[in-house]
Amino acid sequence: MDALALLLAAALPWAAGCAALLAARWPAPASAERASGRIASVAGYGYFVGVFLLTTWMRLLSATGIGFGRISIAAPLALLAMLAIYRARGARSPLARFAAFARSVLQPPLPLWQRIVWLVLLAFMGLRLSTLAVEVAVRPLYPWDAWTRWATKARVWYEFGRMMPFLPGSSWLAAPSGAYFDASPASPATIPLLQAWSAIALGRWDDSATNWPWLLMLVALALAIYGMLRDRGLPPLGALTGAYLVASLPLLDTHVALAGYADLMLAGTYTLASLALARWASTRDLRDGAIAVGLALGCPFIEASGSIWASTLIPAAIVASWPRPGLKVAASIFGTAVLALAVLARDTPLLPGLTLHLTYQAPWRSLTDALFLQDNWHLLWYGALVLAIVRARRLLQPRFAPLVATAAAALAWLLAGSMFAANIVGWFPEASVVSRSALVMAPLTIFLCALLWQEPTPSPDQDPSTAKMHPIHPQGKALRATEVLDA
């Protein structure tokens, strides 16, 4: 019975998010060759969209004085999922699409040697996810931040059936009863609400049961990476390799096994927002832009530093909106930021009521150790550095420019957080830890490396005469009816 309750707790937001994307007919209909990638994109994005739908609804319930309960939380989301599925009805039902996707995964139309490699990668991923599932099932709440910043709120909100206020120490001492205090009372509520929902669905508080969403985040992120790589034109085996590299990152897996931190969800949300923004740059589809903006706005509701990570998408948005002048504008923004940091580190400007100064600390030894010497990344940063040098001429091409702008801005924030850790630790304590900041940008880095490593296979429906069309989504030529996966 407990397993069924936890399954329903996981399935509800996932189904609601996928149904919402299907109802919006996102992503745009693809050729039959890339249909499996489209289904994977919906499944991957659907979980993160569903989590935000779930936690937003729980916020509304608490604000209106309605207590948390299985019916009050689940019924509206289930109704939304059913309405969205009805809106998305077409020639093929969602179950038929999923069955077709499962067949394409288990029996891919590949040459024999590629099929063997494909099945080996799937086996390794399945084995890794199975061992992580065992860790989640048997390990109680363990990491430091998990039970000092996040689960404290989840436990209180579960017990009271609503969001109780958490206040800083001085305010808590002076407040009347009904307020609570923990190590980070100002932390966003998304993670605690997600944990509280698992406990509500289960019917009791269980340290291990509340950790299952972390495994689902990893699965959803891998699905989204595979789907978006296929959308970019990579062949099935290349896309699966990219998904495997993400799912097998040691530090990413550690955040699943030692569940409870917010970094994994922030990494997934940030990565999916950046990929949707890059897709919008090529398609100009309002749905891509809406998803990118929605997920970017969701980052600050996961972790305090999410606002900074969301702001690193601004250069990419500029480049995507105005491809040629956008690169110069983005470069100007980077140059201005570097100059401002240099001035604040050297001098102390005095403003009315405000003194600005940054304390510079040389971070190069810690950065080298964290990125290149520790066993957290499977040589990711070595490979990224080599590819950036070898493919330097391609980095500013329209196909790569938005992703490169995002990666450059994320790297700048990583460096700034390391050089001025003494100043930012009070506002963004997690950002001062190199590995945790690098974790947020690691999936995006792998995605970009996969694109740089392997040239995409031209879509079979692209006319050779349309050489000026974007390589991702050819426009101006309608797909034949037999090649369209009905949305």
Mean pLDDT by 10 residues, the chain (487 residues): 86 92 82 71 95 96 92 91 75 64 74 89 94 92 87 94 88 80 90 95 90 96 95 91 95 93 96 96 93 96 93 94 85 87 76 70 86 89 93 88 94 88 74 84 96 64 39 39 30
Contact 25/477 with Cβ under 8 angstroms?
Answer: no
Query: What residue type is 329 in one-letter code?
Result: V
What letter represents residue 82's amino acid?
M
**Distance from C-alpha of 446 to C-alpha of 391, rounded to nearest angstrom:** 15
CA distances from 225 to 10, 132, 166, 271 (A): 20, 19, 36, 9
CA atoms of 368 and 435, how far apart (whole Å): 11
Q: Is 69 helix (H, G, I), strand (E, B) or coil?
A: coil
Q: What is the pLDDT of residue 474?
A: 40
Q: Contact, 101 vs 37, CB < 8 A?
A: no
Signed CA dihedral, 421, 426, 431, 433: sign only:
positive
Closest CA to 35 of 102, 122, 110, 126: 102
Cα dihedral 186→189→193→195 (10° resolution)? -60
Question: Token match 């530093």: residue?
Answer: 305
From CA 192, how far away is CA 195, in angstroms rounded?
5
Q: Which helix (H) or strand (E) holds 343?
A: helix 323-346
Per-residue pLDDT at 307: 93
Q: Shortest CA distance to 449 belongs to which of 227, 234, 218?
A: 234
CA 24 to chain centre: 20
Q: What is the rounded CA–CA span in Å between residue 434 and residue 384?
A: 17
pTM summary value: 0.89
* pLDDT the model gives residue 171: 82
The separation between the first and the last C-alpha atoms of the chain, rounded to the nearest angstrom, is 35
